[in-house]
Structure 1
Amino acid sequence: MRANGLTLGGDAPEDIVEYVELAENAGLETYWQGESWGRSSVPTMTRLLERTASIDVCSGIFNVYTRSPALVAMTANTLADLSDGRFRVGLGMSGPAVIENFHGAEFDEPLRRTREYVEIVRAYLSGDRVEYDGELFDLSGFALDVERTYDCPIYVAAMGEVNRQLTGEFADGWIPLLLPNTAVGDALEAVERGTDRGDRSLADVDIAPWVPTCISETDPEAAEGAVRSMIAFYVGAMGDYYAQMVANFGFEEEAEAIQDGWKADTQAGAEDAVTDEMVSAIGACGTPEQAAESFERFVDAGADSPVAYLPSRWASDDVVRETITQLQ
């Protein structure tokens, strides 16, 4: 199996520690803790770093609208110090539905905000006193008041073409979500244009797609169904952001049908519109052999560190545990 990391997404389930300990025992390198509109991710990540020994714990993701970049730098450095450097910063825009309707913030200038955010977080983590004159942030005179700073890798969850270029220019890693394995090569062209502009190479960016993953030796159809449910929810319920993204990467008719299905019959209607081709291209599911072949396709297309994104909302505890153990 070629998955390097694990994420369960969203809020942490009660048995999160057991899941991450399973992932660590399976030899996975990273665990990415999501944050949506339930529990804060920081206490969970703190708990996980205290209970693990080798796996990197990562924010997956801090959105760039609801915490200041200085606060993210403080949080990252504190968690890295707690764990001897086992923390990675995952940043992203989230989407207008969450930013505006839950947080009440304006979803404005996302590309400029992401660029300035990364630059500021990296500047504070360097240990230097920060002087920054940007379009959105104007900072002067402060450094982190700590004995040691950590050069935490910074990953960006970017899907749009311009944002992928920016990621290639200045980020340490790229986190695409719902990216079909058939589109990885095309998507990387924009990342590589960014690395060229930043006088870097594509090898400087860890390509870490989040791949909807569910594996069952005894009930592969149920595993495929859980991945289908995840795709349906993201494309149907999360506004136009993910629908437009999968449309841009080859599934335009399907994206429209999924959104229409959600409007007609919410989750069930959306699931009916998710095709087998979408499940095969976007996910890694079914039997262990089928999932392994899917991960191989992502790696062959240019992924460095695929992250298995488990649909824990739609899969049983037994299937989640089986999936994690099969990732070794």
Structure 2
Amino acid sequence: MTERDVFLSVGAQPSLDAMVEQIEFAEELGYDTAWAPETWGRDAVTLLATAAHRTDEIGLGTSILNAYSRSPSLLGQTAVTLQEASDGRFRLGVGPSGPIVIENWHGVDFGNPLRRTRETVEIIKQVLSGEEVSYDGEYFDLDGFRLRCDLPETLPKVDAAGLGPKAVEMCGRFADGWHATTFTHDGLADRMEDLERGLELGDRDPEEFRTTVSVTCCALEDSEHARDMVTQHVAFYIGGMGTYYRDSLARQGYEELAHTIHDAWQDGDREHAQQLVEENLLPHMSVAGTPEEAREQLAEYESIDGVDAVYTSYPRSADVDEIKQTMEALAPDRTE
């Protein structure tokens, strides 16, 4: 059975306490895992450490910590510590993020994100082995240290995010799970072939691998308002977050549309960009409408072969009440 997770919004969050309360609410509703993002707001590590002490059962994970602002060894230390803090409920998600965040916020050259993410995953797994870390890579050259604390009884899994064919193949080959985001139904199905190739190359057991799909959701009685917020959110990512998500959409068979949305947004014609999203993309890569409509739409994602978990994420403009309404409408017990 496909698991249903929750992804915390980074927008419209008045406090750390409000975010932790949403994780507590997700636990009450029966969600399997709460995923914390990290962009340029509150850091995910402090958030999850706080949540670990205020929850008992819900899984906790990062989606994602980027592979640039922390060293791979520190990411390994963080994974061990959060696993200890959560009594074995933690799962580490890492990935490259995107050039606009890495270069403009962290001031680091984006370089080769595929190679850097692979090296990061490999080093983290060495850290988690408890043995001396020895690594000679393109980005990292490490030797002479091992983790200076006992390993947790259950080691945390290490997931990776990827958009393009080679990145998804890398996830299957080296990580324990793949985080998929901003995919249409068909685009996601196409990437599954790349994931299977990576699993074969890494001689991995598909049964031990977790594919987690992010879906932007808004379920409100005011269905028009719900669709408007999701439309704006999708248009922002395609048009306002550099070229990373634009190019991912183009690879999914929407090249002309992706560039038109991006150009309209960059030219200041956001109304046109949002109109293009609403007319051409909304039902194919998001969930929006009344609670009943949204539940039916989310079930379509969960039925895609190879999807192990779907996490409901929320529009960047949604307020706390709208997020909680959507969480409640799409809670796992509503569809069992």
CA-CA distance at 1:269 after TM superposition: 4.3
The residue that corresponds to 2:35 in the other structure is 32
3-state SS, counterpart of residue 4 of structure 1:
strand
Where does 1:1-328 land on structure 2 (aligned, <5 Å)?
Answer: 4-10=4-10, 13=13, 14=15, 15-149=18-152, 150-216=154-220, 218-265=221-268, 267-302=270-305, 303-311=307-315, 313-328=316-331
User: CA–CA distance in 2 between the matches of 1:318 and 1:79?
Assistant: 29
3-state SS, counterpart of residue 209 of structure 1:
strand
User: CA–CA distance in 2 between the matches of 1:324 and 1:266?
Assistant: 32
User: CA–CA distance in 2 between the matches of 1:130 and 1:233?
Assistant: 41
2:123 partner letter: I
2:199/2:205 contact within 8 Å kept: yes
Going from structure 1 to structure 2, the CA distance change for 1:134 and 1:11 (only over 3 Å counts) comes to: farther
1:211/1:308 contact within 8 Å kept: yes
CA-CA distance at 1:69 after TM superposition: 0.5
User: CA–CA distance in 2 between the matches of 1:110 and 1:265?
Assistant: 29
Going from structure 1 to structure 2, the CA distance change for 1:262 and 1:12 (only over 3 Å counts) comes to: closer
TM-score between both structures, scaled by the size of structure 1 = 0.94
Going from structure 1 to structure 2, the CA distance change for 1:139 and 1:224 (only over 3 Å counts) comes to: same
2:132 partner letter: R
Matched positions, count: 326
1:230 partner letter: H
User: CA–CA distance in 1 between the matches of 2:132 and 2:269?
Assistant: 50
1:33/1:61 contact within 8 Å kept: yes
User: CA–CA distance in 1 between the matches of 2:133 and 2:205?
Assistant: 27
Between 227-236 and 265-274, the greater mean CA deviation after superposition: 265-274
CA-CA distance at 1:275 after TM superposition: 2.9
1:72/1:121 contact within 8 Å kept: yes
Going from structure 1 to structure 2, the CA distance change for 1:2 and 1:315 (only over 3 Å counts) comes to: farther
1:261/1:269 contact within 8 Å kept: yes
CA-CA distance at 1:295 after TM superposition: 2.1
1:180/1:281 contact within 8 Å kept: yes
3-state SS, counterpart of residue 319 of structure 1:
helix
CA-CA distance at 1:266 after TM superposition: 5.7
- Report the aligned-residue RMSD: 1.8
User: CA–CA distance in 2 between the matches of 1:73 and 1:266?
Assistant: 43
2:99 partner letter: P
2:219 partner letter: I
Identity of aligned residues (%): 38
Unaligned runs of 5+ in 2: 332-336
CA-CA distance at 1:12 after TM superposition: 8.1
Unaligned runs of 5+ in 1: none
1:220/1:286 contact within 8 Å kept: yes
2:67/2:96 contact within 8 Å kept: yes
User: CA–CA distance in 1 between the matches of 2:55 and 2:271?
Assistant: 38
User: CA–CA distance in 1 between the matches of 2:177 and 2:9?
Assistant: 18
1:2/1:327 contact within 8 Å kept: no
